[in-house]
Amino acid sequence: MRSTSWKDSVRSLQWRLIIPLALLVTVCLGTLGTYLAYSSRNDEVQNLEQRLAQEARLVSHSVAPLLWDRTGVDSLVKSLGRGTDIRLTVIAPDGAVLGDSIEDPDTLENHLDRPEVRAALSTGYGQSIRFSSTRHQDMLYVAVAITGDGGQTTGVSRVALPLTTVQKITARLAGIIAFAVGVAIVVAVAGIWVVGRLVTHPVIQLTREVRRVSAGEVGRTVPVPWNGEIGDLGRAYNEMSLKLAATLSQLKEERGELETIMAQMTDGVLLANAAGDTMITNQSAARLFGFEKSTSIGKPVTAIVPEAAVEKVLTDCLRTGRDKSAQFDSLSGRYLRVIAVPITYGVNQGALLLFQDLTELKDLQTMRRELVGNISHEFRTPLAGIRALVETLEEGALGEPAVARDFLGKIRAEVERLTQLVTELTELSRIESGRTTLERAPLQLNGLITEAIEQLAPLATRQSLTIVKRFMPDLPEVSADRERLSQVLVNLLHNAIKFTPHGGQITVSTRTEAAQVVVSVTDTGVGIEPAVLPRVFERFYKADRSRTGTGTGMGLAIAKHTVQAHGGRIWAESEPGKGSTFSFSLPAIQI
């Protein structure tokens, strides 16, 4: 599960809603509380001022008749102020203190400079809040003019009260207001949190689902019990999720089909971007050039296919935007053709490279040319002999019966050789094309080999050759066409007899290997050079390059295709000067 730090929490949508709103509510309520505290203090001061003004007027009425008696004024003022926090002061028009409820008037300085006294003398009423140098604290002063019978100002009655009382009341009210504001803030923040939770909860749900989708869990939906914009967002998300799942499923199927097609293609495929880097490739391309398909993506094409012809074709295709192709011999020895086609995907450019292995086609073309040459040669020699004999007969040999009969015999021999050649060519073509039907039946090879040896025994005897049989007793049977397999044995034995010198030995052996019956024909002849050994099963091929032999060069080719038609394998082993061994294997019948 994804861990959440406090920084992530602060950055979340819920807290982005709660914190600004909570700050706004706190500022508003704090401002309101401050205003209420300030207003309450002013109200208290005003109330206190009105009370002190009444006190000052009462004092002015009491002392008005006694202003001529300074001692009497002071005594009256002290008696009125006794037992209270109120300070009473009577001041003459010239600022001299006539009486004070707390201090000795004689010790007090002139009060004409006091703001409340000046205001009372000029307007009849004065008020000020200031620090008292006598009482060493903030005081509220209220002064009223004392008027005589004629309406003239005869003095000032001043009442003062320390502001500690107001401050206590204000502090108490401030505490109450602060508590109320604090409770209001807590309630408001809690309400905002709850509302924010209700608002952000569906968004948080959607966020979780989006993260799951981004992690690969496509097709998920969320319940949508909400209305309004959040509900619309939830429904839009569900629709998007289902469409995304369908799209990804379709893309996955298409990608699977593409991968299947590319995997089954025998041609190599490679997609390169405009920079020449590999984007897509298939296993056939990896096999042709010997690189790992899984690690090739993102690498330059020239790094995984180090062929100059490929680099030139790709560069020209990307530069010109046209199809390019080339044929070349690869470093692996294969003959390949590369075709580069420019492609556009989105706003990007690239090139699709197709690699075709033309090695077999080239070999077939070479074999076709060699076949034409071989057939021409094989036909030219007997035809040339026949022509020479006919020309000799035409020039007068017909008049000599003995010579004519000899020439006609030679012509017949050449015609029979041509007939054999055509027959073998036709037979080989039928076997290669699969048009030959095998008459399969359980067959014991030891007996079939013995028959072939007896058939060629006179030829071996004429060359003083010894044929040795080394048969495995109780050799398993094979399912084979008796006539065609007999032809294979005769061809192998005839070749061994033909290439083994007088007095030599031919050994025919049978054995079993891994559910296969193996037949080997070994001679003590001249052997075959290693360079030409792989070609001995090709049609018309003769190890005797002078072509002086009497064979057509088709026997081993027919033997090869006959054995392969039976589901078997044929091969040759040889050491020059010591002899050769030709072997073939066929599946044994399982009992």
Where does the pLDDT of residue 547 fall: very low under 50, low under 70, confident under 90, or very high at 90 and above? very low
> Quick one: tokens of 570?
């044929």
DSSP 278-318: EEEE-HHHHHHHT--GGGTTTSBHHHHS--HHHHHHHHHHH
The alpha carbon dihedral of 267, 273, 276, 282 has a sign of negative
CATH class entry, domain 266-357? alpha beta
CB atoms inside a 10 Å sphere around CB 296:
21
Q: In CATH terms, are 1-217 and 266-357 the same topology?
A: yes
Query: Which whole-number Å values give the CA distances from 560 to 368, 431, 538, in the listed order?
Result: 19, 10, 9
How far is the C-alpha of 448 from the C-alpha of 441, rounded, in Å? 13
Residue 523 phi, psi (nearest 5): -120, 170
Query: Which whole-number Å values give the CA distances from 303 to 279, 314, 333, 399, 520, in the listed order?
Result: 13, 13, 18, 80, 48
Residue 544 phi, psi (nearest 5): -80, 100
Is pLDDT at 65 greater than 70 in this prediction?
Answer: yes
The alpha carbon dihedral of 274, 279, 285, 289 has a sign of positive
Where does the pLDDT of residue 6 fall: very low under 50, low under 70, confident under 90, or very high at 90 and above? very low
CB-based contact 156:144 (threshold 8 Å)? yes
Is pLDDT at 38 greater than 60 in this prediction?
Answer: yes
- Looking at residue 390, its pLDDT comes to 80
Determine which helix (DSSP H) or strand (DSSP E) holds 240, and give its type and residue range.
Answer: helix 228-264
- Looking at residue 545, its pLDDT comes to 42
Q: Over the stretch 156-192, which tens digit does the pLDDT of each residue have?
A: 999 988 877 777 777 777 777 778 777 877 887 787 7
Given the candidates 2.40.10.220, 3.30.2130.10, 3.30.450.20, 3.30.70.2190, the CATH classification of the domain at 1-217 is 3.30.450.20
Is pLDDT at 549 greater than 50 in this prediction?
Answer: no
Per CATH, the number for 362-431 is: 1.10.287.130
Q: What is the mean pLDDT of residues 117-138?
A: 84
Tell me the domain boundaries of the chain.
1-217, 223-260, 266-357, 362-431, 440-587
> Quick one: tokens of 327?
């044929």
Contacts for 245 with CB less than 8 Å, ≥ 6 apart = 218, 219
Could you tell me how far CA 293 lies from the centroid of its own chain? 16
Is pLDDT at 207 greater than 50 in this prediction?
Answer: yes
Where does the pLDDT of residue 80 fall: very low under 50, low under 70, confident under 90, or very high at 90 and above? confident
Contacts for 539 with CB less than 8 Å, ≥ 6 apart = 371, 374, 428, 553, 554, 557
Is pLDDT at 10 greater than 50 in this prediction?
Answer: no
Is pLDDT at 368 greater than 80 in this prediction?
Answer: no
Q: Over the stretch 466-507, which tens digit does the pLDDT of each residue have?
A: 999 999 999 999 999 998 899 899 989 998 998 899 999 999
Tell me, what DSSP letter sits at residue 134? T
Which percentage of the chain shows pLDDT scores above 90? Answer: 25
DSSP 10-45: HHSHHHHHHHHHHHHHHHHHHHHHHHHHHHHHHHHH
Instruction: Give the residues across from 575 on adjacent strands.
Output: 579
- Looking at residue 195, its pLDDT comes to 75
CB-based contact 528:399 (threshold 8 Å)? no
- Position 392: which residue type? T
CB-based contact 534:369 (threshold 8 Å)? no
Tell me, what DSSP letter sits at residue 319? H
Is pLDDT larger for residue 429 or for residue 353? 353
How far is the C-alpha of 442 from the C-alpha of 445, rounded, in Å? 10
How far the first Cα of the chain sits from its last, in Å, is: 64
- Looking at residue 184, its pLDDT comes to 79
Q: Over the stretch 301-343, which tens digit does the pLDDT of each residue have?
A: 999 999 999 999 999 999 999 999 999 988 888 899 999 999 9
CB-based contact 570:584 (threshold 8 Å)? yes
Short-list 499, 482, 486, CA closest to 551: 499
Query: Which whole-number Å values give the CA distances from 131 to 128, 135, 138, 477, in the listed order?
Result: 10, 8, 4, 136
Q: Over the stretch 234-275, which tens digit does the pLDDT of each residue have?
A: 778 778 878 888 888 888 888 788 778 877 888 889 999 999
Q: What is the mean pLDDT of residues 384-405?
A: 76
Report the topology of domain 440-587.
Answer: Heat Shock Protein 90 (3.30.565)
Contacts for 342 with CB less than 8 Å, ≥ 6 apart = 317, 318, 321, 322, 323, 349, 350, 351
SS3 per-residue string spanning 458-475:
HHHHHCCCEEEEECCCCC
How far is the C-alpha of 179 from the C-alpha of 173, rounded, in Å? 10
- Position 180: which residue type? A
Where does the pLDDT of residue 588 fall: very low under 50, low under 70, confident under 90, or very high at 90 and above? very high
Contacts for 140 with CB less than 8 Å, ≥ 6 apart = 45, 48, 49, 52, 127, 128, 129, 160, 161, 162, 163, 166
- Looking at residue 331, its pLDDT comes to 87
Give the chain's radius of gyration (CA, Å).
63
Is pLDDT at 200 greater than 60 in this prediction?
Answer: yes
CB-based contact 334:310 (threshold 8 Å)? no
Q: What is the mean pLDDT of residues 92-117?
A: 88
Residues shown for the chain: 591
Q: Is the pTM of this model over 0.75?
A: no
- Looking at residue 239, its pLDDT comes to 80
